[in-house]
Amino acid sequence: MTGIQSLKIGVSGVRGIVGESLTPHLVVGFAEAFGTYLDGGVVVVGRDPRPSGEMVVNALIGGLLSTGSSVIDVGICPTPTLQHAVVDLAADGGVAITASHHPADWNALKFCREDGVFLNQYQAEELLNVYHQGAFAQRPHDALGRVGHDEGAINRHLTKVLNSADRKAITAMAPRVVIDSVNGAGADCAEGLLQKLGCEVVAINDVPNGRFPRDPEPVPENLGQLCAAVREHDADIGFAQDADGDRLAVVSEEGVAIGEEFTLAFAADVMAERRAIGPLVTNLSTSRMIDEVGERHRRRVMRSKVGEVNVVETMIAERAVGGGEGNGGVIDPELHFCRDNFAAMALILQGMATRGVTVTDWARSFRPSAIVKDRVPCPAGRTGRAILSLRRHYERNEIDLTEGVKVFFGEEAWLHARPSNTEPIIRVIAEADERGAARELCDEAMRIIEDAIA
């Protein structure tokens, strides 16, 4: 199946399989739409190292230039670097070419506005309307945009991370770190950042060629090589990046992948110490561990709809001290309102150093917790029926209807079911003290959904 119908379109951008749904024709069309949406101006463009990236970036630049937009190409770089560069270069917008944690045959366009934040739902819908209408601004030969290049974007970004960290404390600890960059956008710079932070570094999968040796999503089942390397090198911690450098997972000194939810919990524990006021912000599907962090530091915790931009806009509005998502995406407002796994590494190392703890000790400071994440296929026209059935079934429980249905079972457990923004499915997530209990909650909700849509 080809064309716009087979693309995944959501608040985070446009994704597809290269040569099937994501073609040069479509890339040019979305580029023309974005240039028209911005009414010209300057657009920063960067990409991850997937083999398809060169094709996509050239099609993208051509479409932007045709609308009178000028382009600053920052080359292969992490997505947060691109977002920093939009602000640093006073651009009108930016486009990150990356399919993030998706396999190598995927690629995507993620659109940023002038503050380096991804388009929100309403802005993304406006852009999509421009695309569908097809009335793109086409400039004559003497009014086309121009292309420039910026080779300093990564250094500027990493310098900010270094300047924000307690390098003295980290250097005194001198941690041994194994970093798995999955041959992605962070592969050319993660090792250098860690060394400048005072770490002894072992780097694996550190060639930025886009040939992923594992599934690039940094979840425990994909981190066997990293776990083995941490044990082999007697390291203090292991870090796993995703393909574009915005999500991070942690492996303990015992060589155990502790789960991506701990990334935000650890980082938030450090961010909450930094200034006197401001809440912590995360989404509805993130672990209750961030609530524990809030209690420790007497911080209010606010929850938004799922999606990076939803968290970011809440953080901006509430002047948050820190935030992020439980998929390993840490947002440090002292640096920029974007998910940034370089910032996450610095925060976590700083927390270990100032607390004098191991990863295992830090993790054990939180109450026992287990999260199960699942999905149910559901045609778009039946999601309302499914959500209504869940509301009725759990009507005696405390319920949050901000997005889908979130059900609370006292302080012991919670369940969240919501329609996906990009796929014909309902995502079901549950957290409890034990994995078996969380699994049972997910299974019950999935049965209710399946009965409702049968």
**Residue range 319-342, pLDDT digits in tens:** 999 999 999 999 999 999 999 999
Asked if the domains at 4-151 and 156-364 fall in one CATH topology, the answer is yes
- Which pLDDT tens digit goes with each residue over 165-223? 999 999 999 999 999 999 999 999 999 999 999 999 999 999 999 999 999 999 999 99
* Gap between the Cα atoms of 313 and 299, Å rounded: 18
Share of the chain above pLDDT 90, in %: 91
C-beta separation of 427 from 448 below 8 A: no
**228-246 average pLDDT score:** 97
Neighbours of 393 (CB within 10 A): 17
- 454: pLDDT confidence band, cut at 50, 70 and 90? confident
Alpha carbon distance 104, 102 (integer Å): 7
- What number is the average pLDDT over the span 24-50? 96
3-12, 254-263, 266-275, 387-396: least confident range:
3-12
**For position 130, what pLDDT does the model report?**
94
Domain 4-151: give its CATH code: 3.40.120.10
Active site residue 252: no
pLDDT band, residue 122 (cuts 50/70/90)? very high
Predicted local distance difference test score (pLDDT) of residue 4: 43
List CB contacts of 361: < 8 A, sequence separation 6 or more.
Answer: none
Arithmetic mean of pLDDT, 21-39: 96
Closest CA to 431 of 357, 372, 374, 377: 372
Domain 370-453: give its CATH code: 3.30.310.50
Instruction: Show me where the domains of the chain are located.
Output: 4-151, 156-364, 370-453
Q: CA-to-CA distance for 452 and 386, rounded, in angstroms?
A: 5
Please tell me which residue, 411 or 444, carries the higher pLDDT value. 444
Residue entry with tokens 């923004």: 421
- pLDDT tens column, 92-115: 999 999 998 888 999 999 999 999
Whether the CB-CB separation of 107 and 98 falls below 8 Å is answered with yes
User: Distance between CA atoms of 95 and 8, rounded to whole angstroms?
Assistant: 17
pTM of the model: 0.95
CATH class for the region spanning 156-364: alpha beta
Strand order in the sheet with 301-304: 301-304, 280-283, 322-325, 329-331
Taking 90 as the threshold, does the pLDDT of residue 446 lie above it? yes
What is the model's pLDDT at position 11? 62
Catalytic residue among 70, 100, 285, 304: 100
Which contacts of 287-290 are long-range, i.e. CB under 8 A and separated by 24 or more positions? 287/261, 287/326, 287/369, 287/371, 287/431, 288/369, 288/414, 288/431, 289/261, 289/262, 289/264, 289/265, 289/366, 289/369, 290/264, 290/265, 290/326
